[in-house]
Structure 1
């Protein structure tokens, strides 16, 4: 699914003052991201506060974003229930989305065989490209490289978002899977290192604020100008880390609000960034002339 491109943004969900989904602002933000280099959007993923969105809100978001942007939309629909995941997938399909992001089931802690069966059953229930999402820091279970290899042989499982933070595991996924199976890092700070070991791109949070610079970094690497790519990597290192100083998406929503892009606060159990966190993020942003 190379049509998804190399710089996918996991988009935040804007809320109004009542913490209702601001669909108009979501469309505006989506178009801004595309203008700055985003090649596809993940909607209602971790960064989009998917766990606190209702099924109806997710469906409305999928439909409105898909209707109003020019790049592929990948719907975050995974849950810790296989049946619910399939139900969510079918609702997303009705909106004409271009792919599904399916996270490893959280809390249940399935073993590797159970993980394989979960994804296999979901994949067989829908006819649409699927990106696996491995984020053990949030789910409590890790999709091992052997399981990724097995899953990559299923026709419509076409990509992986590897957010374990483990470059060795990402390397194993690249090594074990076919060339047309695309491995993306889910860690902004590992974008350049991941490209160097064969990853296709990144599913990014930082692209909300430094999308054009990340695009330049990726393109520089692809053109063989590793010196320029490395220079940009080090320029962005502080903001990459700063946007994860506390739980995502707390920092990135604070950053966007500081830039005048009104995305509102967060739904509980997440709460808005404290003044000390905002000050740290702002310090990193000033170095890049973002505020």
Structure 2
């Protein structure tokens, strides 16, 4: 169902903190035009942690509306509360989304059995395809391969976004799941190697800025043309690292505004705007490496 470059879309916000739907529509159209294969709406990069429940739902619904069925929308529906995850998922049942991205419960630090029961309970309450999301550096809990394998046997759990940074997970999961179970990278820096090992896609922060090149890289890699894929990867490598110089999505929102992709780049507390030191580093990168490139193809 999903392969290639999937963008972890930012949520544009006005100076007063309100959602900027004009910019959101612009971003959706930008990704349709530049071969992004799907959009994750209100994931980590979309600041799911600081949106109200109404905002969370409304951003997803607006994203579906703006997409006009031209690109699949994956809704971020995860929570550290099983009942809240179920509530939002059920609310989106007839919204037009193609799947849900459900993160490992954060802060609670559940056991492997607790995580298994959490995701199983969600899947039992919906027909929407579910994609697991493992990012232990943020959640404090690591969804282990053996638990993923157990969950993969549930019909509407169709894959996992694996963002632990441990590439050995690809083989440890792939060898024991159905061939259609999706292995999706959650890390731009290692995405190419992840696909080379058998992954099918990346949910990408970098794709917010350069969706066309990310899409090309993934297409080459999926078709086993790793020479061409590696060439693009090297072009993007400095950006991939810089986008995590501070907590995501601080750098990506600053850069999207810098190149004119959005007009509103407010970020909500407890996250703060990009520091002056790192703004200077970004400007040096842009000036020295990409000064002769076109605005929306700066890499």
Q: Which moved more, 1:39-48 or 1:257-266?
A: 257-266
Q: Which moved more, 1:224-233 or 1:120-129?
A: 224-233
Matched residue, 1:274 = 275
Distance in 1 (CA, whole Å) between partners of 2:112 and 2:286 is 41
Q: Following TM superposition, by how much is the alpha carbon of 1:59 offset from its aligned partner in structure 2, in angstroms?
A: 1.4
* Alignment gaps of 5+ in structure 1: none
Decide whether the 8 Å contact of 2:196 with 2:222 is kept in 1: no
Matched residue, 1:128 = 128
Decide whether the 8 Å contact of 1:100 with 1:130 is kept in 2: yes
Decide whether the 8 Å contact of 1:19 with 1:264 is kept in 2: no
Distance in 2 (CA, whole Å) between partners of 1:285 and 1:166 is 30
Decide whether the 8 Å contact of 2:253 with 2:265 is kept in 1: yes
Matched residue, 2:26 = 28
Decide whether the 8 Å contact of 1:183 with 1:200 is kept in 2: yes
Distance in 2 (CA, whole Å) between partners of 1:284 and 1:134 is 31
Q: TM-score, normalised by structure 2?
A: 0.93
Distance in 1 (CA, whole Å) between partners of 2:65 and 2:223 is 33
Distance in 2 (CA, whole Å) between partners of 1:140 and 1:28 is 35
* Alignment gaps of 5+ in structure 2: none
Q: Following TM superposition, by how much is the alpha carbon of 1:94 offset from its aligned partner in structure 2, in angstroms?
A: 4.0
Matched residue, 1:57 = 55
Distance in 2 (CA, whole Å) between partners of 1:277 and 1:236 is 18
Q: Following TM superposition, by how much is the alpha carbon of 1:140 offset from its aligned partner in structure 2, in angstroms?
A: 0.2
Q: Please, what is the CA RMSD of the aligned residues?
A: 1.4
Distance in 2 (CA, whole Å) between partners of 1:180 and 1:83 is 28
Decide whether the 8 Å contact of 1:170 with 1:185 is kept in 2: no
Aligned length: 289
- Kindly provide the CA deviation profile for residues 97-124 of structure 1, in whole angstroms up to 9, marking residues without a partner as x: 1110100000100010110000000000
Q: TM-score, normalised by structure 1?
A: 0.96
Any idea what SS the aligned residue of 1:93 has? coil
Decide whether the 8 Å contact of 1:162 with 1:186 is kept in 2: yes
Any idea what SS the aligned residue of 1:276 has? helix
